[in-house]
Amino acid sequence: MMSNYFYILWIPLLPLISFVILGLFGRKYLSGISGLIGTASLLTSTLLSFVAAKQYFFVDGKVNGVFQKIVAFKFTWLEFSPGLSIDLGMIIDPISVMMLVVVTAVSLMVHVFSLGYMKGEERYATYYAFLSLFTFSMLGLILSSNIFQVYMFWELVGASSFLLISYYFNKPAAVAASKKAFIVTRFADLGFLIGILILGYYGGTLDIGLLIERFTSASSTQFISITNASFLGASMLTWGLTLLFMGGAGKSAMFPLHVWLPDAMEGPTPVSALIHAATMVVAGVYLVARMFPVFSMDETALNIVTYVGAASALFAAVIACTQTDIKRVLAYSTMSQIGYMMFALGISKNGGEAGLGYMASMFHLFTHAFFKSLLFLGAGSVIHMVHSNEMKDMGGLRKLMPVTHIAFLIACLAIAGIPPFAGFFSKEEILTAAFHENKIIYGIALFTAALTSFYMFRLYFNIFWSKEATTANHAHNAHGHDNHDAHDHHGEGPWVMKLPLIILAACAIGVGFIPFSNLVTSDGKALETHIDIAFSIAPVALSVLAILLAASFYKNQNEKSDKIASAFGGFYTAAHKKFYVDEVYIFMTKKIIFPFIGQPIAWADRNIVDGFMLLLAKITLKISEQIKGLQSGKVQNYAMYFFGGIVALSILFIYIWK
């Protein structure tokens, strides 16, 4: 049973091959067909992952009604001490198979969409090379069986995100955004690394399966040693898991490490759809889910996950209501939805019916990937036409872009949780779980759900309704995005841009009906789903109300929204300015860290470390100046030294060193 999953190795390998080919030869020899090469290799990967999913979920993944964790392939790469080694392996279990499907499917859609969107770009081949690299790293991360392997792919994912954000490297904002994303996530990854080291030290292994096995039995020596060791009043288990979560929070843009995500929207829009909406940013959720059995042993760490997730969900939803850049609205909405997934994990228990939160979180991750990438691709389609990211440059586009309009509407309904769209099912599960476990969280979640509907439909009405479309909309303006000036066509773009929208829209409608609770659960056993019609009334009614509110504000141009905004006064301004988190960061770094930590260290480096080295150099110089006369260039002098040396050695060996 082990070996028949070996072909899964090809799923990450194909994008890697395409990366190497396109990266080495793309720009010179394959510039025209590089998109097709990337797409073809990914199409194969996608088909393989569908085959794998079918085989795992419906043929042989289940033994006695429980989904098994299968290690399909493993080899020891670096061994530090017996037991503690870095292995490269592939783990096959419900969440990794589910993520395989999500990543390859969304990535394929983005590849296809980019065929139209990025057409005519000078670095077209490079773009596809980077996309392939990203897909490879993300798939590697998903399949990793060793936590250090996760870390390596984690960094690769971060690096490819960096490369893709700064794709338009002649735009200063994009360069700044890529650096910000890299530095913030690197900072979080420091925590991740320390967390890995703590768990590895006490667990005596880096293998995920073994770690889980050792830390989940309360009587194992490893578990006793890690819970007895404490630091600053918390056990090392809490520390290790919290630091692990810190890495996840950085990648998943959880408050307060979220600042990079809105800026990351400077990258090409399909990239935002792939990396900053559907796949990479959920890596943090995936990490927590992967280590969930260990998390479930520690109440404190789970509480941190819960409250950080809930706070991010609410915080981001409030900000999203005030932003005017459509991609930033979507970015904050992503952050808010990931907050949902996080707190759903946080309130869950491991195994049994109380594991509903875990299953709901994974379900939401799954559905969210489809409708959020649809929203981004729709936004990309709009931006492609309007050449602007700002809402005020849009309006009345429903007649000009009928396909985009319908797809976007479906995605909005899905994220708002209106039945029967995908978001409804997963959000219901999360709300149910929250209702059973923690009423405060339930309240926050409900309010956030209403806010979500409001800002999504604010976006929808502003883009597709509001004012009537005029040619002025197409005027190039200072915000002209993505350098599409070269081909100034109108309409929705070629079929390669419409097809992904249609497919994803179909997914946004359909994937909610997948019986997820039978497939992906914390202990591999099927759950009894209990969607209660009566329970769903409140959230759905709130969402509908919020949609109607948004319609009354934004469907036609009117003053209502401005009035409300001014009624909120300072709160509105604060939300519009993203609650000054960026300013706080700048204050912290420029006013505190730079003058009090950075500059003293720089002084010490310049004067003490460099000074010591300079001193050595100076001493050498002085001595050599004194003795350089020995090298006179006169042959007879050298002969004298030679003779003197022989005499000295003779005396030494004959008379002294007998």
Partner 1 sequence: MQEIPLTQILFVSTALFFIGMYGLFTRRNLITMLMSIELMLNSVNINFVAFNKYLFPNNLDGLFFTLFIITIAAAEAAVAIAIIINLYRSHNSIDVDDATEMKY
Question: What residues make contact with partner 1 under the rule CB under 8 A?
Answer: 628-629, 631-636, 639-640, 643
CB 108 within 8 A of CB 42: yes
Which one, 219 or 631, has the nearer CB to partner 1? Answer: 631
| Beta-carbon contacts of residue 655 (< 8 Å; ≥ 6 apart) | none
Backbone angles phi, psi at 466, to 5 degrees: 45, -125
Convert 521-537 to b/e letters by CB count within 10 Å (16 or more is b). bbebbbbeeeeeeeebe
Q: Which of 595, 592, 593, 615 is nearest to 603 (CA)?
A: 595
Of the pair 219, 636, the CB lying nearest partner 1 is at 636
**C-beta closer to partner 1: residue 221 or 620:** 620
Pairing of strands 234-235, 230-231: antiparallel
With respect to partner 1, which residue has the nearer C-beta, 472 or 630? Answer: 630
What's the min distance (Å) between Cβ of 630 and partner 1? 9
Query: Least separation, in Å, of the C-beta of 616 and partner 1?
Result: 21
Beta carbon nearer to partner 1, 63 or 640: 640
Give the nearer residue to partner 1 in terms of CB position, either 587 or 641.
641
Residue 483 Cβ vs partner 1, minimum distance, rounded to whole Å: 60
Which is nearer to partner 1, 81 or 636 (by Cβ)? 636
Q: How far is the CB of 655 from partner 1 (least distance, A)?
A: 19
Query: Could you tell me the smallest distance in angstroms from the CB atom of residue 634 to partner 1?
Result: 5
Q: Coil, strand or helix: which one is 192?
A: helix
Residues 91 and 70 sit within 8 Å (Cβ to Cβ): yes
* Closest separation in Å from C-beta 653 to partner 1: 19
CB-neighbour burial class of residue 63 (10 A; exposed 0-12, middle 13-18, buried 19+): exposed
Q: Which is nearer to partner 1, 219 or 626 (CB)?
A: 626
Nearer to partner 1, 169 or 638 (CB): 638
The CA-based dihedral angle spanning residues 508, 509, 511, 516, taken in that order and rounded to the nearest 10 degrees: 120
- 63 conformational bin, left if phi > 0, alpha if psi -120 to 50, beta if neither: beta
| Shortest separation between residue 637's beta carbon and partner 1, angstroms | 9
Question: 222 near 207, Cβ under 8 Å?
Answer: no
Q: H-type helices in 218-349, by residue range?
A: 221-228, 236-251, 260-263, 269-273, 283-290, 292-295, 299-320, 326-346
Considering the complex, state which of residue 602 and residue 640 has its C-beta at the smaller distance from partner 1.
Answer: 640
Strand partners, 81: 84
**Nearest-approach distance from CB 267 to partner 1, in angstroms:** 58
| Cβ neighbour number for residue 352 with a 10 Å cutoff | 12
User: Which residue from 520, 245, 143 is spatially nearest to 364, judged by alpha carbons?
Assistant: 520
| Smallest distance, partner 1 to C-beta of residue 644, A | 11
- Minimum CB–partner distance for residue 643 and partner 1 (Å): 7
The candidate with the shortest Cα–Cα distance to 133, out of 99, 167, 101, is: 167
Task: Using the CB atoms, write b or e for 448-481: b if 16+ within 10 Å.
Answer: bbbbbbbbbbbbbbbbbbbeebeeebbeeeeebb
CB 258 within 8 A of CB 316: yes
